[in-house]
Structure 1
């Protein structure tokens, strides 16, 4: 009710956690060519489902709603859309009555907890509700655990005519959530027992480094290949400490395409010295860092980074440095392909 009273103002959605009971629904899906084709596609699906409801003499038990996968990559074309409506089957009706056709019968399980918010489409696009729900989940220690539901709340009652546009003045956006777990890869043996992890906050003075540089998105594991070359060439660098090496990650290198970053496999040096062939010189300023330790093999390193950026950081109340710089520090604790391996990840803070 508070949200509905905010007509004409930028939405700051009230997010509630609730239980959603199990329900049976008829659904149909198709692929829309573009975003502009989404509404005609939705209306086409609505007509198809309405015809099936009438043929089977079923009355709607819920408003129309769409199911949206939470791990679906962003695309501007070939957009999959699934529309559904809750129904109550009679004792003579079975799921197989709809088998093999474009319309399917879904048995949606009960969900608890389900995060929910009401979005007024006149105030802002629905994407803003997704953004706020996702941000709320991160900052509150939850993670999205299933498909989103966009429930189109009609002003004229549960049933609406298939010949008219779906009434989307208000949409309830729902997402099943669960408490975010701390990955084993970032927990020490003692912390695993307590299921608690707190990074160290340190200040590291400025330092200089020389190493091999890679700029890209690491789609084909180029960084791992570069480390193989760098490990063989480390003796060419007059480093301060041969037992320690760095993986320096710069978020926005000059001349890089969108989404690309620079990663430098490097050793610390006392001065710029003459550069070995193909290597680069970098100066890292003094920063305050949150220091995490990655435990085990590199296979689940992505899980560690996701926890740091998507769970710990939003809950910490801290902000990353504007440069979005982070680095990996390898020392004698690191052993490739070993379950006992350890190395540290430094996240620069504002």
Structure 2
């Protein structure tokens, strides 16, 4: 699996979040709450959906699947002039990202992430940066479509 390296410009998002861990995965609960209300976001740039993880600083220094982080379901917006009730804002700072296309059903996403963190990153000239990690699901996203999800991992040089 190859990565492409991208320089991301800052993105403004509106959505919902929940605190969870990898052991206590609440992703389904979060998306079940967000999806019926996403049409309330009036200033979205497109129909792409963002699934984000905001990890505490140093989260990956000593990985523990029980440690908590913020999981977001969101859409990119042009501005924060209108924020629907029960939703919040999040800015993804610009910076360097490694981008992967997940191949296979969503239920096998852990294999892609395992490859990224245990094989690709250690062999690369990069390490994880302390910015949001996210997946972009386009309007053509289908849960089991093998090419409909891009995974963006924030990186910086190991130096």
- Are residue 219 (structure 1) and residue 26 (structure 2) matched? no
Matched, 1:294 2:96: no
1:332 partnered with 2:144:
no
The equivalences for 1:8-23 within 5 A come to: none
Give 5+ residue unaligned stretches, structure 1: 1-196
Which whole-Å CA distance do the structure 2 matches of 1:199 and 1:339 have between them? 19
- Please point out which of 251, 271, 275 is paired with 2:79: 271
User: 1:125-179: CA deviations, max 9, x gaps?
Assistant: xxxxxxxxxxxxxxxxxxxxxxxxxxxxxxxxxxxxxxxxxxxxxxxxxxxxxxx
Whether the 8 Å CA contact 1:294–1:344 is kept in 2: the answer is yes
Q: Please say if 1:250 is aligned against 2:57.
A: no
Residue 291 of structure 1: how far off its partner (Å): 0.3
SS in 2 for 1:288: strand
The one of 44, 54, 63 equivalent to 1:240 is 44
Gaps of 5+ in 2: 58-65
Q: Deviations over 1:215-271 (max 9, x none)?
A: 121534411221122121110112433421111211018xxxx71111111001111
Matches within 5 A, 1:52-201: 197-201=1-5
What is the match of residue 175 of structure 1? Answer: none
Out of 149, 152, 157, which is 1:346 matched to? 152
Corresponding position of 1:144: none
Picking from 117, 122, 125, the partner of 1:317 is 125
Q: Secondary structure at the match of 2:114?
A: helix
Partner in structure 1 of residue 114 of structure 2: 306
Greater RCO between the two (CA within 8 Å, min separation 6)? 2
Where is the helix percentage greater, Structure 1 or Structure 2? 1
Show CA shifts across 1:68-115 (max 9, x none). xxxxxxxxxxxxxxxxxxxxxxxxxxxxxxxxxxxxxxxxxxxxxxxx
Structure-1 separation of matches of 2:104 and 2:46? 22
Give the TM-score normalised by the residue count of structure 2: 0.84
Cα RMSD over matched residues? 1.9
Distance 1:270 1:328, change over 3 A: same
Residue of 88, 93, 100 corresponding to 1:285: 93
Aligned-partner SS, 1:241: coil
Report what 2:61 is aligned to. Answer: none
Aligned mates of 1:334, 1:199 — CA distance in 2: 20
Conserved in 1, the CA contact under 8 Å of 2:92 and 2:131?
A: no
Pairs aligned (count):
148
Look up the match of 1:171.
none
TM-score (norm 1): 0.40
